[in-house]
Chains A and B, each alone.
Chain A
Amino acid sequence: MALDWYLAVSALIFCIGAGGVLVRRNPLVVLLCLELMLNAANLALVTFARMHGGEAGQIFALIVMVVAACEVTVGLGLLVAISRRNLPIDVDQLRELNG
């Protein structure tokens, strides 16, 4: 399989994730869509690693996975704190920082 197919799949997944971040209003699903975007970037990195024949891209993908896990942990912690205070779980209503 030529490698541009993998890049096409990666681009499609990234765009779906970006659209989901903009459209959905549940912060949990927004986090899921962020995961989609990070995974699309991972696929592109692994594809480039295969293209070059070096493992640097795979190392980078693993580090991206670590960062994604951290982001998920902090994001879900925030979500639990939000629900504990009985605030609405909706990114359109949680806009105090928006001014």
Chain B
Amino acid sequence: MSVVMFFIAAAVAIAGAIGVVALRNPLYAVLALVCHLVALAALFLLLRAEFVAAAQVVVYAGAVMVLYVFVVAYVGGGDELAGRSALRILGPLFALALAVELFIAMLGSALAGIRGYGAPYKLGFGTPEQIGRLFLTDYLFPFEAASLLLLVAAVGAIVLARRRRGLEEGALELKDLLAAPRPAYTGTIAEGAGVRRVREALEQSHGGVTEVVGAAVAGAAVGGPTGSAHVDQPEGER
């Protein structure tokens, strides 16, 4: 049974890998990689690595591949044209040479364990309990370093993919943003107090709230960013 499972999973994994390399549409390549990852998780299960298999499906085939799909949808990335670079011929040759070398190294290896079926199975091998205990005792430093690495990568990705002001054509400069008129009754506390003081004074002299608001808005439109201008202007009127 495990032999059948192995051959099915291995065939799907290798077919998925070939699909990633051969398919022209990036979206189909991503989907082929998802198939490949799920088949690889089955291989991990056959190797009694339960937690690694679960993490493979949840983290890789779940989260990372969703990220890929989003970026494919954002970037587009249509079919690539056939290039005339020398790597198109040399690349497969290099891969073939690498395969030959790896198989020679593996089949010619004197390691007896490679031909065997592995160590005898211990109860609890590869379970989340065992992995978690190892992560919090023997491998605590790699665990902490991995968390720091994830944080750095997250911050770096945000910085890289952020929309930068001023780089695009027609974007507002900083001085334009500062010179834009500000609505009335916004701004610093001092301005707000000043506006209220002016408003009370105007209410005493004119007795109408609506035209006071209109005067303040007009003062804001004329007075510009500093805010003190539209406070001073009605006082000048008075």
Contact = CB atoms under 8 A, between A and B. Distances in A.
Interface stretch (B84-92, B187-195, B206-214, B219-227): B84-92
B233 interface: no
29 contacts: A1-B46, A2-B115, A4-B106, A4-B114, A6-B47, A9-B10, A11-B103, A12-B14, A13-B36, A15-B96, A15-B98, A16-B95, A17-B20, A19-B96, A20-B20, A22-B95, A25-B83, A28-B71, A36-B17, A46-B47, A46-B52, A49-B47, A51-B114, A52-B119, A58-B49, A69-B64, A70-B152, A72-B67, A80-B160
B102 A15 contact: yes
A29 to B, nearest CB: 5
B51 A58 contact: yes
A61 B49 contact: yes
Contact of B94 (A18, A26, A58, A59): A18
Nearest to A54: B119
A65 B37 CA distance: 12
Contacts of B114: 2-4, 7, 51
Interface residues of B, number: 87
Given A16-B95, A59-B139, A65-B60, A81 B160 contact: yes
Interface of A: 1-9, 11-20, 22-26, 28-29, 31-33, 35-36, 39, 42-43, 46-47, 49-53, 55-56, 58-59, 61-63, 65-74, 76-81, 83-85, 89-90, 92
Contacts, number: 240
Interface of B: 2-3, 6, 10, 13-14, 17-18, 20-21, 26, 29-30, 33, 36-37, 40, 43-44, 46-49, 51-52, 55-56, 59-60, 63-64, 67-68, 71-72, 74-77, 80, 83, 85, 87-88, 90-92, 94-96, 98-99, 102-103, 106-107, 113-120, 122, 125-126, 130-131, 134-135, 139, 142, 146, 149-150, 152-154, 156-161, 163, 167
Contacts of A15: 95-96, 98-99, 102
Contacts of B33: 32, 35-36
A22 B47 contact: no
A19 to B, nearest CB: 3
Given A13-B13, A35-B33, A19 B49 contact: no
Given A5-B6, A15-B98, A83-B75, A32 B67 contact: no
B17 A22 contact: no
A21 B105 CA distance: 23
